[in-house]
Amino acid sequence: MEKFLKKHYRWFVFAIMAFFVTVSLLNAKNDSATFDEVAHIPAGYSYVTQHDMRLNPEHPPLLKDLIGIPLSFLHLKFDTALPFWTGEGLNRIWDDGQWAAGKHLLYEAGNNPDQILFWARLPIVLISVLLGLFLFKWGKEIAGTLGGLFVFTLYAFDPNILGHNHYVTTDIGIAAFLTFMFYYFIKFLKNPTWKNVMIGGFFLGLVSLVKFSSLMAFPILGLVLLAYPLVKKISHDEKEIAEKYLRTKMFFSYLGKGIAAFAISMIVIWLLYFINTYNMPREIIARQINFSFPLDDMNPLSQMTNKSLSALNSSSILKPYAEYFLGVTMVFKRVAGGNGAYFMGNVSSQASKIYFPLVFAVKETIPFLALIVFSLFYTLAQIIKTFRKSLAEKSVRKSVRHFLQTELTAYTLFGFIVLYSYLSITGNLNIGLRHLFPIIPLAYLLVTKKVFDFLRHRHVVTRNQLHTLLGILIAWIVLIPMFSYPGYVSYFNESAGGSKNGYKIVTDSNVDWGQDLNRLKIWLEQHPTITKINVDYFGGGNPEYYLGEKYVSWWDSKRPIEAGWYAISANSLQTSIYDHVNKTADTNYAWTQKYTPVIMIGNSILIYYVPMTEK
């Protein structure tokens, strides 16, 4: 079987990709607009057509430019004389304006929202395809052809990836470009030619243009850049030169080339920001700066930030950097402020330390979690074995040096995973598993490396037996998205009681992001006797547009509770019931607990029938 897979691996890559692309395109077509897409889509369209970043500067422009390109060919109606663009009557043009712009572009200007959504999502799907193929390439390099197929399978059949790889957000983009950047950064470290410096700097710039959280990689990049030349293996010919002199020379060579790569990245950033801001008046940027960091703020850091950004904005050459660094500072400010959400029977803007570990444990597939646990234990066993041997031979220092020389990829990726996980857990922004997407592809690669390292050192008989066990795990991985289609956003594994029970643990983008409004429409069409339905919908769709005359607006505090049908988004339901600070039994959805949902639409919208009017 192993020889067969190696010989025909291209057919397996094609089959996996065919499944991945088909499902992604179906979801791109059938999912209604998610909450954040309402802000991202008009921003992308305006960046390409107006060269002005006044909408959504909290994120860099690269992904928005990509989604704006196909939209620019649709000749959409987009009225820049309206307040969402001019800022009239708005305190925060980039915040209030972006949501108003999205509603205008999608539902109010006479455009086709489903057409806009599909074409805007296509570039994101393409990026996810490129990431999958890139993971196959990298997996093949570190674990052979079967390793490439294995990491590709982990990625392509992960329901969480399939749930988000078509949305116009930054989540799949940052996962992809961080993976690309780490690959070329490590390639530069292993072979620091000027060609690799330029490529590494280019991808460092690109990842900075995708999402500002990419800055979390910089400490790891800097540390490895400074440490690796101190331990890098010296060739036999070079050993004739004094090692101390050679190490010093190598260190400063790496340092200089690292600075050059960073400089190239800053040029890439300037170029794209220049393209996106050359029609943007300085007054708009100044308004953004003064609102986010007012000079009358008693915080010295806020005042210093305002003055620094304003100085950049005053220069025609440096204006693009004013917008870039404004976005960086806005993100740090938002993370500190938190994000209110439901989690484990509580609604709070204060993050819980167990949020990300628990969400990861209940939303990732059990076979993948098992592989992670195996990889960690196997790595620990390797460390203990090597340490004992080194102690016996009094060669601990030699063993550590050998590890640092030969396992550059492993400790660089693992270091970033640990740092990013720590900052996510200790941060104040619980926004869903998608927030961990930057490290998930790297985890696929490390798991693949460990699994195939383990197999490589087994006896041929044992290895064949292990191949059978691995085959069962792979079959399990492949079957999960087939049986859970199309409810990938709301996927939960068996430890959580399955996807239908996930909303009881956590909501937000883990369950309900507004993706199932179209499916509610289809369900109502299948039940023509339902002529009216009270809807409390959370998301980026427009219930009135999709449901027509059947739609009746509803909210948690509306009274009396009338007899009839109700469709309540899981996010709205849980945040209402468990917000013990702002809600009471008279103003929340506690009354729904007396009824059993008739059905769940996509595991994110609960349908209730109330037989008689309640007080």
pLDDT tens digits for range 42-63: 999 999 999 999 998 889 999 9
Nearest to 47, CA basis, from 58, 37, 56: 56
Type of residue at 480: I
Average pLDDT over residues 255-278: 96
Q: What is the pLDDT of residue 350?
A: 81
What is the H or E stretch that residue 158 is in? none
pLDDT confidence of 242, banded at 50, 70, 90? low
For the cut 80, the answer to whether the pLDDT of residue 240 exceeds it is no
pLDDT tens digits for range 186-221: 999 999 999 999 999 999 999 999 999 899 999 999
pLDDT confidence of 237, banded at 50, 70, 90? low
Nearest to 567, CA basis, from 594, 543, 548: 543
pLDDT confidence of 409, banded at 50, 70, 90? very high
For the cut 60, the answer to whether the pLDDT of residue 511 exceeds it is yes
Question: Do 326 and 54 contact (CB within 8 A), yes or no?
Answer: no
For the cut 90, the answer to whether the pLDDT of residue 311 exceeds it is yes
For the cut 80, the answer to whether the pLDDT of residue 336 exceeds it is no
543: Cα within 13 Å, side-chain hemisphere: 22
Which range among 331-345, 375-389, 463-477, 554-568 has the greatest average pLDDT?
Answer: 554-568
What is the H or E stretch that residue 463 is in? helix 460-484
For the chain, give the percent of residues with pLDDT over 90: 77
**Chain-wide mean pLDDT for the chain?**
92
For the cut 80, the answer to whether the pLDDT of residue 394 exceeds it is no
Q: What is the pLDDT of residue 22?
A: 97
pLDDT confidence of 449, banded at 50, 70, 90? very high
Q: What is the pLDDT of residue 296?
A: 84
Q: What would the two tokens of residue 405 be?
A: 């020389």
Instruction: Tell me phi and psi for residue 78, to 5 degrees.
Output: -150, 100
For the cut 60, the answer to whether the pLDDT of residue 93 exceeds it is no
Q: What would the two tokens of residue 549 be?
A: 């005359």
Close Cβ partners of 385 (under 8 Å, ≥ 6 residues apart): none
For the cut 70, the answer to whether the pLDDT of residue 326 exceeds it is yes
Q: What would the two tokens of residue 236 be?
A: 């036999």
Rounded Cα distance between 492 and 487, Å, is 10
Q: What is the pLDDT of residue 334?
A: 67
Q: What is the pLDDT of residue 332?
A: 76
Q: What is the pLDDT of residue 591?
A: 95
Q: What is the pLDDT of residue 273?
A: 97
pLDDT confidence of 395, banded at 50, 70, 90? confident
Type of residue at 72: S
- pTM metric for this prediction: 0.94
Q: What is the pLDDT of residue 514?
A: 96
The answer to whether the bond into 486 is cis (omega within 30° of 0) is yes
Average pLDDT over residues 484-503: 95
Q: What is the pLDDT of residue 388?
A: 86
Instruction: Tell me phi and psi for residue 278, to 5 degrees.
Output: -70, -15
pLDDT confidence of 391, banded at 50, 70, 90? confident
DSSP 605: E
